[in-house]
Amino acid sequence: MTRPFVEIDRVAMRYGGVEGTLALQDCSLNVEKGEFIAVVGPSGCGKSTLMRLVSGLWPATDGNVVVAGEEVDRPLSLVGMAFQNPTLLPWRSILDNVMLPLEVVPEHRKRLRAERAKYEQKALDLLKLVGLEGFGAKYPYQLSGGMQQRTSLCRALIHEPPLLMLDEPFSALDVFTREDLWDVLQQVWMARKPTVILVTHDLREACYLADRVLVMSARPGRIIAERKVPFARPRTQETMVEPEFTKLVAELRGFIALARKGEEVT
């Protein structure tokens, strides 16, 4: 049997030393290669902390994080990330912001030098895919928040990372833009099958996009429930009005309500 692509084994994370905040405790989960999972849970339960540990941005206080068979002990280069706040570099054009991972990840730098035109075209194609054709030469301040967020999604995808870590990437967007981007992400996932970990507060988003939804307890966070999402792909607006979809969303909402009260999910 092949190993899961991401293995999180009884991880704990405490910020600020022994007296500090215990964000995660006894948190375990596995993600298979090419699987799309969503992590949901009460506010402050440690979802972003979990993302930081898997990306290697913080070391765990206890337990093990293994990605692609290797212990995570430094920031991973095989990961693409997008967060709620797009954090574009204001002095770089939109195109140059999208190209950034190719410049900072050593193994891409050489390829970029040899084939710049090809990668620029790829960045422009991604911008087109998210509805930003013609905006490559603009600067972040010239774009709306939603457009900046779409740029940040392109930046996460440009180097075709095998692992995509998305921490509430759509939460600041209006509902129409958000649902458009769900379809873009679904399209990218279906075409390339990266392994995806998506943190979201939006249960419809989780059920629209993921193969499996994992529910976290209140802080210190750990996984307390999971549900497979059985709907065929590509999922569409019709999927979201199916009774089974509504039922799944309601069930997950019930789990989170219990978690917020510190009660067990059975």
Ligand X SMILES: Nc1ncnc2c1ncn2[C@@H]1O[C@H](COP(=O)(O)OP(=O)(O)OP(=O)(O)O)[C@@H](O)[C@H]1O
Contact status: 45 vs ligand X (CB under 6 A)? yes
Tell me the closest approach of the beta carbon of residue 204 to ligand X, in angstroms.
17
Given the rule CB under 6 A, which of 41-49, 59-67, 115-123, 190-198 is the region that contacts ligand X? 41-49
Select from 3, 28, 44, 190 the one that contacts ligand X (CB under 6 A).
44
65 binds ligand X (CB under 6 A): no
Map the footprint of ligand X across residues 204-243, applying CB under 6 A. Answer: 219
Tell me the three state secondary structure of residue 264: coil
Residue with tokens 């792909």: 233
Q: Decide: is 67 part of the binding site for ligand X (CB under 6 A).
A: no
Please give the helix or strand (H or E) that residue 234 lies within, else none: none
Q: Are 152 and 166 in contact (CB under 8 A)?
A: no
Contact 46, 13 (CB under 8 A): yes
Pairing of strands 195-199, 163-167: parallel
Contact assessment for residue 203 and residue 171, using Cβ atoms and an 8 Å cutoff? no
Q: Give the number of residues in contact with ligand X, rule: CB under 6 A.
A: 12
Q: Does 15 bind ligand X (CB under 6 A)?
A: yes
Smallest gap from residue 207 Cβ to ligand X (A): 18
**Nearer to ligand X among residue 219 and residue 235 (C-beta):** 219
Structure tokens at 155: 């930046």
Residue 43 touches ligand X, criterion: CB under 6 A = yes
Q: Which stretch binds ligand X (CB under 6 A): 42-50, 151-159, 203-211, 233-241?
A: 42-50
Q: Does 146 bind ligand X (CB under 6 A)?
A: no
Q: Is 47 in the site for ligand X (CB under 6 A)?
A: yes
Residue 107 CB, shortest distance to ligand X, in Å, is: 29
Surface-to-core class of residue 34, CB atoms within 10 Å of its CB (0-12 exposed, 13-18 middle, 19+ buried): middle
Neighbouring-strand partners of residue 151 = none
What are the backbone angles phi and psi of residue 90, rounded to the nearest 5°?
Answer: -65, -25
Stretch that binds ligand X, among 37-45, 97-105, 156-164, 235-243 (CB under 6 A): 37-45
| Of 43 and 187, CB closest to ligand X | 43
Q: How far is the CB of 85 from ligand X (least distance, A)?
A: 11
227: which residues sit within 8 A by CB, 6+ positions away? Answer: 212, 213, 215, 248, 251, 252
Give 99 or 216: the residue with its C-beta nearer to ligand X.
Answer: 216
d(CA 218, CA 47): 10
Instruction: Report the interface residues with ligand X, using CB under 6 A.
Output: 15-16, 21, 23, 43-49, 219
